Structures are given as structure tokens and as C-alpha cells.
Structure 1
Amino acid sequence: MEQKKNIGFQFSGFRITAFSFKAPEEPLGENESFDFETSVGVSHESSALIVKVGIVVQRSLDQVRCATMVAESLFSTEGLEVDSHTGAVVDVPPDFYATVISLAISTTRGALLVKGAGSFLERVPLPIVDPKAYVPAIMEANKPSVGG
């Protein structure tokens, strides 16, 4: 029988590390649409986890970049085993990553709306993103290397 690993975590902070936007030169149409690119990265520190979310907003009509934002969600953690040689976290369950990524994306979505208040950005919320889509790459990037 597989033993479950107990990991404790708490949302402990949020910061926007980069933000820029430029309103489209042409007036927005009533049903204007935008494309979003999102990226997610996770880094570990002593009893902390940082989830970095990057967003690029492009106008669908002409693919002109309208906004970019990079934000970091900080989580205090307990129960993550860190490899003493590589600093990599050992045996993190995929559901744990999916949960913290989901929280980080949701928080970033709200921050983008707040930062864009009073501009066209308040009408274009970041669409729902499946956090599980990022988990395999995150797990691979944070896997301990063989041979230390």
C-alpha cells in the first residue's frame, strides 16, 4: 500500500515582478478577442515554494502584444524533503503542484484585473487554465539529478 506524504503549506505572499501594457491604437470592437500565453515555473527555497506565473496578452485581430505580467506567489511549506546535494525537492505528489499552481494562477488573474482597472484590460480576464497541464514539466524541472 502506498504511503501518503503529508505536506503542509500556507499562502504567504504575492508580488508582481513585471507589468506593462499598451492600449491598442485602434478602438476595441464590441466583441474584441484576445489571446493569452501563460507560463508557470516553480522554485524551492528553505521551507518555501515560489510559483512564478507569466502572462502575455495579444490582440487576436493583429497579434499585437498588449500586456505582459510576471507574478510570484509565495508559499510557506512543511514536510518537503530536500536533497542535501542538489537542493531539489524529493517525491512531491503531482496533486500538490497542481494545487499551488492553481492558487497562483487564480491570484495572478485577479491581480491582472486590478492592474488593468480603468483600461481595456478590465474587460479581458485571463481565461480558466488547467493547472495540471503544467505539472509534468514542473516535476521534471524539479527532479533530483542522478549522481548529485
Structure 2
Amino acid sequence: MATTDFGWGSAGKLRLILDALAGLDELDGVDLLVDDASDTARVAAQVMGGRHRFVHGADVAQAAAALVINDPASADRITRSGTPMVCVDSLPNLWTTDAEVPLAPTVYCAQRSHARELPPTSPLRRRADVRWVKPIVPPPRH
């Protein structure tokens, strides 16, 4: 797993996604590898360490699959390793250059935003591999 050091939104999305994967923490032998290049991923692993088993410093090529949140550089590095990878993009409305989005993740999920459309220069306008998903947010509290 990798998250970008762009506020706490990425770490929160990681927690919500892991929480939604029913039974993940109950499976024997399942380790979640942390991309140690990301400070946010390390902190997120510490915060969620009681619920999941995280391994630091492991080779990403050993992973069965990867989850990357808002970190195109990590996504591209993981893709080059040959590891299947899901990339979650919370901010697709901001990107105007190809360098701001991953090149070829296995699955690219971009959150829909009702507030704005993609800018005319968005590299996502030309991509057919984007899966548009609802915003990943915590359930409302009463």
C-alpha cells in the first residue's frame, strides 16, 4: 500500500477501503506491505496497526496486489514491478498534466465530483481505463 503525503485524506481513504474489505484482518498469513517511501503510509500503518498486520521494507514485487491512493509516482513504480495494482484518485479534477496521474495501473479508480468537471487540459479526458467511483467517505454519524 502507498499513500501520498497530501494531508490526511489519503490515509483516511486507506482506512475506509481496508475496513470495507470484509474479513481481511481475519485471514491467516495476510500481510499488508507498506511503501516506506511514503510518510503518510507509515503513519497510517501505525494508526491502523491494531486492526491489520503491516510489514515495512518488503519488496513490492512480493505482493499479490497493491493499493495506491493519490500517489502516481508510487503507482508507476509498483506497476513497473509487475504487481497488479489498484490506484484510487481522490482529486481527479485537479490534474492537468500526464505527470500527475499514473501511467498504467491495473485498475484506476477516480472519484466523481459533483462540484466541478474535469479541466479542459485534464489527461483523464483521453483515458478509457478510468473507472469513475462514488466518493469514498465515512458513513454519516448520528
Q: Which structure is higher in RCO with an 8 Å CA cutoff and minimum separation 6?
A: 1
TM-score with structure 2 length normalisation? 0.26
TM-score with structure 1 length normalisation? 0.25
- Give the number of the structure whose residues are more often strand, by fraction: 1
